[in-house]
Structure 1
Amino acid sequence: MVFSDGDFVLIEYSVRVKETGNLVDTSIEELARKENIYDSNRVYGPTLVVIGRGWINPVVESELKNIDIGEERVIEVPPEKAFGHRDPGKVRVFSLREFQRRGIDVRVGEVIDFGGVSGVVKSVSGGRVVVDFNHPLAGKTLVYKVKVVAKLEDLTDKIKALAVKHLNIPGSELSVEYDGSKREVVIDIPAKYVTKRDIQYGKVSLATNILDLIRGEVDSVVFRERIARKKEEKEQAGSVEEPGERAAKESAKES
């Protein structure tokens, strides 16, 4: 099957470092748990890729265009097409006092933010700290294992997949309604996610993508934050007797 730019495709994937075999990313929860990279803050499952949008490595995206639904393919990405080659100039030596002055506790292997740039502490000795500001995967060949799960055609399926991606909320907990006469989309967000970190940024990003990617069918996006009474509260409310009801029952018993 040949996919074209703009197609909505769901994929499962895993990424390993060729030199070590270490798993660095995956959409498969079971695999993430097995290899100890599970992240409780992310949503696992088939991941949305819109062809031509650069949402995945360009080498992989190019291959994706010619993978059949249900087919699995292994794609090797060299350093120059991934995170680049290592730059010795990005390995720098600092005085330990500089970190102490900034209130930064440095330990070997930790990722620190120094001057707005992230780096990995390689060594701490003799009052000196060696920090590597290269990307952790710089100089590495990456091996992607990709399986095409489906091509999305239905409008609400596309919107829900976009919502999962941008809001990081499981699709099973999201509700999407589309009114063709108004060309309006309504997305229900469960109460427990209303205060979720970065939810507002995610909503803006999602709405922007919907309006951009689904032109001609959607003119407005509405987010509805639904806060409902819990089941046990409803049952308790239903069992509350109205004023005078208890007295009437007692009177009936006495007669």
Structure 2
Amino acid sequence: MDFIKISYTGKTEDGKIFATTDGKTAKEEEIYDENTIYKPVILIYEESNDKITEKIKEEIKNEKAGTEKEIVIPKELNQTYNPKLVQIYPLHVFKKQNLNPFTGMLFKSGEAVGKVISVAGGRVKVDFNSDIAGKELIYKVKVEGIAATTEEKINYLIEKNFNTTENFHFNLEKRTKNEKENNTLNIELPKNIFINELVFKKKQMFVQDVSKYLDIKEIVFTEKWNHK
């Protein structure tokens, strides 16, 4: 099974960059999101993904680490533009929120975020379609690395679920064929990981990935705290 790490930048057919794994590029293109961690992503070939990711996986399947490739995503694989997601609001809806609508302004309605596309005659037209809906996409992808050994795959799964491998330590107890027990993964968690309130959920997801993709049936987490 292939585990692969890639970096990428995606742009629309008119050249507008809409996604990237590079923080500097995101800032330059004014699409930077402080809640996003900008780093290469891990792809697992046995894992089911959306149509765009599956296309990227197909295109780079036989490539070596260091390879850069431009991948075109045809419109039919991208989300379809839906005219029903264009809504018209009376101007007073905005005024009640002390908002002065203008073309290009972002407007949130419930969980949906749309863009104002026109303001005229006391009415405001808002498009809740994605900016990339119905467009051909071009991804510039670089294969940053390929995990070949079980240990390398464990490192990739740590990075995938915890967003870092720094200060993680693990060892794999490999059983002989004559033993009935399966391989056991012992992993020591760094103290700083517990700052994140989602650490329990991250551990659950890591366990699910290891159990699903590797021949490891037992995982032992340990925590080490030193008192001065």
Which range, TM-score by smaller chain? Answer: 0.7 to 0.9
1:27 counterpart letter in structure 2: T
Matched residues in 1 for 2:151 and 2:157: separation?
Answer: 10
SS of 1:159's equivalent in the other structure is helix
SS of 2:216's equivalent in the other structure is coil
Deviation of 1:74 after TM superposition, in Å, equals 0.4
Match of 2:13 in 1: 18
Deviation of 1:90 after TM superposition, in Å, equals 1.1
Do residues 194 (structure 1) and 194 (structure 2) align? yes
Would you say the 8 A contact 2:94–2:101 is kept in 1? no
Larger CA Rg, structure 1 vs 2: 1
Query: Aligned residue pairs: how many?
Result: 217
Residues 141-192 of structure 1 show CA distances to partners (whole Å, capped at 9, x for unaligned) of: 2111112232212222212211222222x22243333222462223333333
Do residues 48 (structure 1) and 42 (structure 2) align? yes
Residues 29 and 119 of structure 1: CA distance in aligned 2, closer, same or farther (over 3 Å): closer
Deviation of 1:98 after TM superposition, in Å, equals 6.1
Matched residues in 1 for 2:121 and 2:223: separation?
Answer: 55
Q: TM-score, normalised by structure 2?
A: 0.77
Percent of aligned pairs with the same residue? 27
Residues 99 and 152 of structure 1: CA distance in aligned 2, closer, same or farther (over 3 Å): same
Match of 2:209 in 1: 209
Within 5 A, what are the aligned runs for 1:1-255?
A: 6-19=1-14, 21-55=15-49, 57-84=53-80, 86-95=81-90, 109-114=105-110, 116=111, 118-122=112-116, 128-168=123-163, 170-181=164-175, 183-214=183-214, 217-228=215-226, 234=228
Residues 62 and 96 of structure 1: CA distance in aligned 2, closer, same or farther (over 3 Å): same
Unaligned runs of 5+ in 1: 1-5, 235-255
**RMSD over equivalenced CA pairs, Å:** 3.1
Residues 11 and 90 of structure 1: CA distance in aligned 2, closer, same or farther (over 3 Å): same
Structure showing the higher helix proportion among its residues: 1
Match of 1:250 in 2: none
Would you say the 8 A contact 1:185–1:218 is kept in 2? yes
Unaligned runs of 5+ in 2: 176-181
